[in-house]
């Protein structure tokens, strides 16, 4: 049974204030039970408990925290009756999609657990002393990474499992020893509570401090901002819109002691189709592109929203095929009515610009009760796109794609150079496109965190080599990724120990350390 409350120290907190409800986006109806926003006192209690738990939790062997992550995965798979059904009600995502997302979340948890069973995440480095070196002796220097402290994580609307309460941000923070306070997304409060209780059960089963995790409900501008400003918060992870992410970043920077905000704020994920590729496989590219644009109702942060093409041989066939796929695309249900309304308004704004035309629209009215949206295909030319920067180059979260036509390679390069930071950028090429592809690659390496050749950006593999990040405004710090084992680096900082006696060093830095799951107490240093 759902309590409708926030959870601190393993128990639900008192109901205060006016309730709010989860909403079924298919029909707009409220879902029981009522939920209550956390108070300032609840936030204080959560972060004080997290700070108190930090010394013990961060001192555990990596293998012990791996056990926690694995226990959470088991709880998600075996102990969360009704999780997928509630998520389906709150988000309109299909049960198959949600089952896949749960599997992804469990994979992340186990992958990060395996990572901290080893030592690579600590970033161990050593420079041996050279007392005889002239003119200046070299001291003994040993460097390792240590956890930051309590981390605040904001749940994402489009991934109620893999990017929210049991998602990659939570998993990577817990993996390295950082307690977590989650600000649940208001669009799926019931899903958040079920997932949070899975973490709480896993913590209790392993006998770990309950302050390691807390869940707080409430609006981002009040509850969320207060958590970011709290003096015990040491880092923030966020996935969502640019305005919300920027507000959190600004709040963190304005603190007396600023802290890092790792915000992933989406992008338009441009696709560039070179002439050889257009001649060789216009239909294949069109079908793949349509699937990438419309998958998940266009609500993936890696959805390609911009396609830049030469008006060359094959283009007419490509555009006709893409228009046909768009018209056949069934209407979808946005995650909530606010997303649907923003999608419709931005699409109208684009169509209101001179030189932008609608090519095709999918099934459905786009104005039905609830949050129904239809796929839309738009077209413009390179000059119009360049003249409308700040409007046409902004993310439109939903199933829409803008095709920009150019007449020369330099015009394509100009469009690419003018883009802001992106999560991904894609190049479709054939053998004859080699020179243009190389120039595009040079340009796009400065623009995106992941470059794709002859493919599509939706689908983010969770592994060691993945980068899910990019220059601003895709993220607030392009040096890091929010997906894959390198995501752990966000919640660590380096410390160097100079001329320490062996017995005073953290164990991983001592001579002869076995480098496998040893304990180190950061709190005593």
The answer to whether residue 284 is catalytic is no
Whether 301 is catalytic is: yes
3-state secondary structure at position 431: helix
Instruction: Judge whether 302 and 458 are in contact, CB under 8 Å.
Output: yes
Contact indicator for 334, 299 with CB cutoff of 8 Å: yes
Asked if 426 and 456 count as a contact pair (C-beta separation under 8 A), the reply is yes
Catalytic residue among 301, 325, 395, 411, which?
301
- 326's tokens: 């768009």
The answer to whether 227 and 181 are in contact (CB under 8 A) is yes
Q: Which of 75, 90, 193, 264 is catalytic?
A: 264
User: Is the distance from CB of 473 to CB of 421 less than 8 angstroms?
Assistant: yes
Helix (H) or strand (E) holding 323: helix 315-328
Is the four-CA dihedral 453, 99, 5, 205 of positive or negative sign?
A: negative
Q: Two tokens at 291?
A: 């699937």
Each residue of 398-419: b (16+ CB within 10 Å) or e? bbbbbbbbbeebebbbbbbeeb
Evaluate whether 229 touches 206 at the Cβ level (below 8 Å): no
Which two three-digit tokens encode residue 474? 């895709």
Quick one: DSSP state of residue 224? Answer: I
Separation between Cα atoms, residue 366 and residue 470, nearest integer Å? 32
- The residues facing 441 across adjacent strands are none
Catalytic residue list: 264, 301
């Amino acid at each position: 049974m759902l309590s409708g409350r926030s959870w601190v120290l393993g128990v639900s907190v008192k109901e205060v204030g006016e309730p709010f409800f989860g909403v079924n986006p298919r029909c707009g109806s409220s879902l029981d039970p009522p939920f209550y926003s956390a108070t300032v006192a609840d936030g204080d209690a959560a972060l004080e408990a997290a700070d108190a738990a930090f010394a013990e939790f961060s001192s555990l062997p990596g293998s012990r925290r791996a056990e926690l992550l694995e226990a959470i995965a088991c709880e998600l798979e075996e102990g969360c009756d009704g999780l997928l059904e509630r998520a389906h009600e709150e988000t309109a995502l299909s049960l198959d999609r949600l089952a896949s997302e749960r599997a992804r979340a469990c994979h992340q948890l186990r992958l990060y657990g395996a990572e901290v069973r080893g030592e690579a995440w600590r970033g161990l480095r050593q420079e041996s002393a050279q007392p005889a070196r002239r003119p200046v002796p070299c001291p003994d220097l040993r460097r390792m990474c240590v956890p930051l402290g309590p981390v605040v994580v904001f749940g994402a609307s489009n991934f109620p499992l893999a990017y929210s309460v049991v998602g990659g941000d939570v998993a990577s923070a817990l993996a390295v020893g950082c307690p977590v306070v989650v600000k649940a997304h208001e669009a799926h409060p019931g899903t958040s509570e079920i997932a949070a209780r899975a973490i709480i059960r896993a913590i209790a089963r392993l006998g770990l401090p309950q302050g390691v995790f807390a869940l707080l409900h409430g609006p981002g501008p009040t509850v969320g901002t207060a958590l970011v400003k709290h003096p015990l918060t040491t880092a923030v992870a966020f996935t969502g819109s640019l305005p919300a992410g920027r507000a959190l970043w600004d709040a963190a920077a304005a603190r007396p002691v600023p802290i890092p905000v790792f915000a992933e704020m989406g992008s338009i994920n441009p696709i560039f189709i070179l002439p050889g590729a257009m001649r060789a496989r216009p239909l294949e590219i069109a079908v793949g592109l349509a699937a990438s644009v419309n998958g998940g109702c266009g609500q993936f942060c890696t959805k390609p929203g911009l396609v830049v093409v030469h008006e060359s041989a094959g283009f007419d066939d490509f555009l006709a095929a893409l228009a046909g796929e768009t018209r056949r695309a069934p209407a979808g249900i946005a995650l909530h009515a606010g997303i649907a309304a923003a999608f419709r308004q931005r699409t109208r704004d684009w169509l209101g610009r001179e030189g932008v035309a609608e090519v095709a629209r999918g099934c459905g009215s786009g104005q039905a009760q609830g949050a129904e949206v239809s796929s839309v295909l738009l077209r413009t030319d390179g000059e119009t796109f360049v003249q409308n920067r700040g409007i046409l180059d902004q993310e439109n979260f939903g199933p829409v794609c803008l095709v920009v036509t150019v007449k020369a390679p330099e015009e394509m390069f100009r469009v690419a150079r003018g883009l802001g930071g992106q999560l991904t950028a894609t190049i479709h090429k054939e053998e004859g496109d080699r020179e243009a592809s190389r120039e595009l690659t040079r340009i796009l390496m400065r623009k995106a965190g992941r470059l794709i050749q002859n493919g599509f950006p939706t689908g983010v593999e969770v592994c060691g080599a993945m980068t899910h990040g990019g220059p601003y405004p895709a993220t607030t710090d392009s040096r890091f990724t929010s997906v894959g084992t390198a995501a752990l680096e966000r919640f660590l900082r380096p410390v160097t120990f100079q001329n320490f006696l062996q017995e005073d060093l953290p164990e991983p830095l001592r001579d002869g350390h076995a480098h496998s799951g040893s304990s180190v107490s950061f709190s005593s240093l």
